[in-house]
Structure 1
Amino acid sequence: MSRYAIERSESVRILAGGLVKLRGPSDNLPQQWWVASTAIPLVAATIGPLSNVLSIAALVTPWRVTLPDGGIPSSSGRGLEDAAVGIADPKWELVANAFSLACGFAGNLFLLLHFTSRVRYIIALPLAILCWILSAIIIYSQGFWHAVLASILYFIGSAILTINIIGYFRGHYPQQFDLDDDQRTLILQTTTFFFWLAGGSGVFCALEGFTYVDALYYADVSVLTIGFGDFAPKTDPGRGFLFVFQLIGIIFLGLVISSINRFAANISADKIIKQHQIHARESTVGRTVTSERELRERLGLPPRPNATATDGYRLSESGRRGSLAEYGRIEIVGRTVTFHENKRRSRGSIMRGRETSQEKRKRRRQKLLLLEKEKDRFDAMRQIQQDTRRWKQYWALGMALLAFGVLWCLGAFVFMLTEAQVSELRYFECFYLCFVSLLTIGYGDFAPKSNVGKPFFIVWSLVAVPIVTLLIQEMSRTIVSAVNRGTFKLADWTIMPRKGVLKHFLASHPGIRDLLTKKHKPVFEVQNPDQDLNSSTVDTETTKPLGSEPQENDPRPTATQDSEVTEHDLARQLAVTIKTVAHDLRSETPKRYSYDEWEHFTKLIQFSRQASQDEEEDGLIEWDWIGEDSPLLADITEAEWVLDRLCESLNRYTRWQAEKVSVEICFRCEV
């Protein structure tokens, strides 16, 4: 039995024939159900305080009201529900609602105690679920619609926590929630924000004479900077308290939005962007060939005649046109290889019963990637990184538009239903109301007035405005960066021409370069402006992109320096390179090294491998640029990765020198 299997059997208790798999408080086993293990506790801990606030409003506000004039609309234009008079609730209802609110607080408390490792998972979560279910059922409620929304949130919280505990019983994660500091900060900040909102509403209720539900609505539109104007402070104490409440409230709101931003960025980086990059890399690996032999194997063609098993058959021009011509035609554009099978041979194969599978025929026509050199694999990985960054921008833009559209349209539909009796708002008017609310404009010409519209607006705005603000910021960064790139590119070619822009453009577009040099070869040549006119012209086939050449003061040697060096020379280069890379680590933007620089780093990392006999202490010495161990896929920056490997190499070299000195001393003693 392997070591991993032994550890797994010792740390997981399997019960009920394998249906229940209980893991310890923490272990090193792989975790699954990420949404259930991490996102659900965060959502539950966030909606818990909001549910408590709504429960407070439901407790202190009468459920039943009396409409004036028998429910007939008055000529003053006031809505019936605005002029309603509350009817006191019986005492037994107050006791029931107070007990419900206490259960809601207790459920949220048990959840927070587990986050701080004060109460065990198996105790805290069942108690939190039980308390929230009791809170949702017991509420008979004075503020009826606040109670309904609080009940819905309590049921949602208990339901998602039930999913979480099912995942634990299935053995997908340990007892302890795997929350980082940013996620714990998000829970603390949202809890503080909601209780500041509830406490400020109570103060406004006392100073301005608002009912608590109206004060809660007023505090919500104030702290979100919407400001419809349907409620405003009329007294000097109320206006004075607004200074303190609004300033601190905006600070809390900014902290919550910042924490949500970091949480969303971590989710997208770890669970979406990274997975997209892994999928792109696996797709590239699956289409990669390095020689004619691999190409024949991938296409299901027989090996080249008179070739040994160790031959690689480099795919030269003669090989493309000669040895494979009897099977089909090969087109190579850049690194993309496309094989077109001869129709005559394809029909003959089908008649003879060979290669008749549709899957094999499709496989022969697929586009493959020819990566014959190490640099080709490096460039392929760089292309994957570039495509991933571009996809990240479009994904963020799409998610921003989707979230904005859903919250906008759904909110307008609900407000059309809730305001139908009081304000008689049409859907377009509700559409307009949601737009000015989401963007925190708040003209005040339309505002929710019904008893159900105001509590729904509180919940909707507290969810929608921070999230849409966050997503619009991401969308703005995407659009602004695209506009900046377009502006700089336009300036490079027009009013502020950049030196070497034509050379860089032709190097990036070999098709256009070949077309121009072929048609105007006697008069058109790509000349390095820094090169002497009497020297030979630059070979356009090997022209490198701008920025790939090392700077004059860069101490790192390049791959073109092929002079014979000793291990002591490499050790000196290693020390100098460590200093240079440490300087790159302090750069504001992460350093991205060229292939020549990586080739030099590789030589310095690998030269000391003979120094260590223990493979476990060697660290990563060899890798594949498009493999799972590629340095370009690391979670840290390239400078950090290179610095770690160079330090490991220096450690191996010093240990090797110490062992050599010890051997020499022992030898001299024996002599």
Structure 2
Amino acid sequence: MGRRIRFSVAQPVVIVVWYTSATIMIVLLIVFRYTQTGPASPGFHLSQAYYYGAFAAGLYFVIPTLLAITYYGASRGYYAKEFRLSPSQRTLMLQTIIFFIYLLGGAAIFARIEGWRFLDALYWADFTVLTIGIGNLAPSSHLGRSLLFPFALGGLLILGMTIGSIRALMLEKGKQRMGHGIMTFTFKTMARHASDSQSRLYSYIPHLDEAHKQSERDQVRKEMMFLRTVKRIATLQRRWMSFLISFTVWIVMWLVGAAAFWKSESSQNWTYFKSLYFSFTSLTTIGYGDVYPRSAWGVPFFVFWSLLAVPTLTILISALGDTVVHGVREFTIFLGEATFFPEEKSTRNHLNVFIKRLMRRAPKTDRPRGLSDSAPSPGQHTGSAHGDDASWGDLCSYHCALFNNLNRLIELALSGEEKEFSQGEWDYYLRLINRSGSVRAILDGSLSSDWREGDAEKGHGPASGQKHKGGLQSLAQPSSPLLSGQTEAQWLLEAVAKTIKHELHKADAELCTHNRI
């Protein structure tokens, strides 16, 4: 992290040291197991500390294995060799350290006050901070009960921040990993149906089979509408995929945890169903406390398992809100509009509106100040492509429009709102960009920011207005609004900024030509 030693040197050393530590711990555990217990030592039994050591040895082995996978991926070019923590990763690391210091420190304090063993106090602190509340251990002294108030509140605060960081990081990484693959697959599938008039989906998606008969701006506008449809469907697929993965992980944690408790509490005659019952009430933080682990390795496993299971449930609830809860809310609105509060629409129209609502979130109505001035409503600016140059009057008015829209797009991009522009607004912005050069040059990223000053005079730059080949496939690039990972406002902001830079280059070239004369 300090970047004082090269990655190719530091990473192998760290991996070897971790594996060495894991090997030493495993050897010590094995030697202790076969020398201090058994028939030769009838008075000895393995305590919770031994199993905590076994869990630590397992973690000591998992960590270098993950580091080795990272090193292999970096050497093969899959990851960057320069390791640099992002702000979210750094925040999560610090919050995790603080959480465990708080948990262990609280356990030590309450062990001293209540006369508990430290590991029993750690077990109590774990189910207290995680709000499971099993209840087989509870503070009985006046001082212990008094300190419970600040300890529980502080633990909930730290736990909430830590789980929030885990959720944000997991969802961010999952969106990046799955988003591109799902988007590309959906794009290829729908592009095939959009160009085939015999397809069953042809009437439900924008048509692309007659795009070559239209003007460039109309063709690009239709393609943008198609890409927006693809993005909505791909986003819906990604959300449901995230939900299914989270639900599967939660089910695995539940079933595997139940199997472990069934094994560890066999001396209490636990059945597998009883273990399922305990795991479910603990996993959902219900915590009745009528059954609880007592064995030497059941209690350490509960601490280790609960620290993994509760954040898993939080991520599942988050994914649930993006899919099932959203669908139930929209279905309730649809049911109310179709039955109790009917409008002058047919059932089919209600159903179409319901499907469209499911494919995207409800749009926000708040708009940044002045946006309506720059983005006209549908129906405005419907002039032909030949009349674009006259839309803003002279060149000075056009430049003023560029800078006004730049300012308003900056406000919208910084607001974080994922606004979807109307067809009229897209037509306005495409015409604004089109005056500087080919619309396709903007969309496929060929309006380069490093073209030379003389390119406009020679006809090599974007100002030449040459048509770009490639059709719809040219939009399926990382620089397109579909796959760039940007919102529509962010992408339009970048396109308008490139147009302004192009205009400045062109004005500079004209000024140099005038000075030569």
TM range (shorter): 0.7 to 0.9
Please state how far the C-alpha of 1:507 moved relative to its aligned partner: 12
Please state how far the C-alpha of 1:455 moved relative to its aligned partner: 0.8
Q: What is the one-letter code of the residue matched to 1:259?
A: S
Return closer, same or farther for 1:415/1:504 CA change in 2, 3 Å cut-off: closer
CA contact (8 A) 1:281 1:626 kept: no
The correspondence for 1:505, drawn from 330, 349, 370, is: 349
Return closer, same or farther for 1:270/1:241 CA change in 2, 3 Å cut-off: same
* Equivalence for 2:501: 651
Return closer, same or farther for 1:583/1:196 CA change in 2, 3 Å cut-off: closer
Please state how far the C-alpha of 1:197 moved relative to its aligned partner: 1.6
Helix, strand or coil at the partner of 1:565:
helix
The correspondence for 2:250, drawn from 404, 413, 423, is: 404
Please state how far the C-alpha of 1:461 moved relative to its aligned partner: 0.6
Q: What is the one-letter code of the residue matched to 1:415?
A: F
Helix, strand or coil at the partner of 1:633:
coil
CA contact (8 A) 2:338 2:347 kept: no
Helix, strand or coil at the partner of 1:599:
helix
Q: What is the one-letter code of the residue matched to 1:487?
A: T
Matches for 1:102-501 after TM superposition, within 5 Å: 115-117=1-3, 120=6, 121-122=10-11, 123-139=13-29, 140=32, 143-170=49-76, 172-285=78-191, 289=195, 331=198, 335=202, 370-373=208-211, 374=219, 375-421=221-267, 423-496=268-341
Matches for 1:580-619 after TM superposition, within 5 Å: 580-585=408-413, 589-609=417-437, 615-617=448-450
Return closer, same or farther for 1:237/1:285 CA change in 2, 3 Å cut-off: same
What's the C-alpha RMSD, in Å, of the aligned pairs?
3.6
Which residues of structure 1 form unaligned runs of 5+?
A: 1-114, 290-294, 296-329, 338-367, 510-546
Please state how far the C-alpha of 1:116 moved relative to its aligned partner: 4.2
Q: In terms of Rg, which structure is larger?
A: 1
Return closer, same or farther for 1:553/1:211 CA change in 2, 3 Å cut-off: closer
* Equivalence for 1:530: none
Q: What is the one-letter code of the residue matched to 2:349?
A: F
Alignment partners' CA distance in 2, 1:164 and 1:582 = 37
Return closer, same or farther for 1:369/1:653 CA change in 2, 3 Å cut-off: closer
The correspondence for 2:476, drawn from 627, 632, 644, is: 627
Return closer, same or farther for 1:410/1:570 CA change in 2, 3 Å cut-off: same
Q: What is the one-letter code of the residue matched to 1:197?
A: L
Alignment partners' CA distance in 1, 2:350 and 2:259 = 54
Please state how far the C-alpha of 1:437 moved relative to its aligned partner: 0.2
Return closer, same or farther for 1:196/1:583 CA change in 2, 3 Å cut-off: closer
Q: What is the one-letter code of the residue matched to 1:592?
A: E
Please state how far the C-alpha of 1:283 moved relative to its aligned partner: 3.5
Alignment partners' CA distance in 2, 1:238 and 1:439 = 27
Helix, strand or coil at the partner of 1:386:
helix
Please state how far the C-alpha of 1:446 moved relative to its aligned partner: 0.6
CA contact (8 A) 2:132 2:282 kept: yes
Please state how far the C-alpha of 1:174 moved relative to its aligned partner: 4.5
Please state how far the C-alpha of 1:215 moved relative to its aligned partner: 1.1
Return closer, same or farther for 1:378/1:248 CA change in 2, 3 Å cut-off: same
Return closer, same or farther for 1:503/1:598 CA change in 2, 3 Å cut-off: farther
* Equivalence for 1:636: 486
Please state how far the C-alpha of 1:480 moved relative to its aligned partner: 2.0
Alignment partners' CA distance in 1, 2:337 and 2:27 = 67
Q: Deviations over 1:496-517 (max 9, x none)?
A: 456x8669939969xxxxxxxx
Please state how far the C-alpha of 1:615 moved relative to its aligned partner: 4.9
TM-score (norm 2): 0.75
* Equivalence for 1:565: 389
TM-score (norm 1): 0.59
CA contact (8 A) 2:179 2:238 kept: yes
CA contact (8 A) 1:335 1:370 kept: no
Q: Deviations over 1:318-355 (max 9, x none)?
A: xxxxxxxxxxxx73666379xxxxxxxxxxxxxxxxxx
Alignment partners' CA distance in 2, 1:552 and 1:401 = 41
Return closer, same or farther for 1:172/1:389 CA change in 2, 3 Å cut-off: closer
Q: What is the one-letter code of the residue matched to 2:389?
A: V
Q: What is the one-letter code of the residue matched to 1:335?
A: Y
Helix, strand or coil at the partner of 1:631:
coil
Please state how far the C-alpha of 1:454 moved relative to its aligned partner: 0.5
Alignment partners' CA distance in 1, 2:58 and 2:331 = 48
Higher relative CO (Cα under 8 Å, sequence separation at least 6) belongs to 2
Alignment partners' CA distance in 1, 2:350 and 2:326 = 24
Return closer, same or farther for 1:116/1:219 CA change in 2, 3 Å cut-off: farther
CA contact (8 A) 2:18 2:63 kept: no
Return closer, same or farther for 1:372/1:118 CA change in 2, 3 Å cut-off: same
Q: Taking every aligned residue pair, what percent have the same amino acid on both sides?
A: 27
More helix by share: 2
Matches for 1:511-530 after TM superposition, within 5 Å: none
Please state how far the C-alpha of 1:475 moved relative to its aligned partner: 1.2
CA contact (8 A) 1:228 1:444 kept: yes
Q: Deviations over 1:278-333 (max 9, x none)?
A: 222234456665xxxxx8xxxxxxxxxxxxxxxxxxxxxxxxxxxxxxxxxx7366
Please state how far the C-alpha of 1:277 moved relative to its aligned partner: 0.7
Q: What is the one-letter code of the residue matched to 1:257?
A: I
Alignment partners' CA distance in 2, 1:657 and 1:645 = 18
Q: Deviations over 1:142-198 (max 9, x none)?
A: 622222222222222233333334444555444432532112222222122122222
Alignment partners' CA distance in 2, 1:238 and 1:119 = 48
Q: Deviations over 1:447-484 (max 9, x none)?
A: 11111110111111111112112212321342221122
* Equivalence for 2:441: none
Please state how far the C-alpha of 1:651 moved relative to its aligned partner: 2.8
Q: Deviations over 1:47-85 (max 9, x none)?
A: xxxxxxxxxxxxxxxxxxxxxxxxxxxxxxxxxxxxxxx
Alignment partners' CA distance in 2, 1:450 and 1:506 = 59
Return closer, same or farther for 1:581/1:507 CA change in 2, 3 Å cut-off: farther
More strand by share: 1
Please state how far the C-alpha of 1:220 moved relative to its aligned partner: 0.8
Alignment partners' CA distance in 1, 2:277 and 2:209 = 56
* Equivalence for 2:42: none
Please state how far the C-alpha of 1:210 moved relative to its aligned partner: 1.0
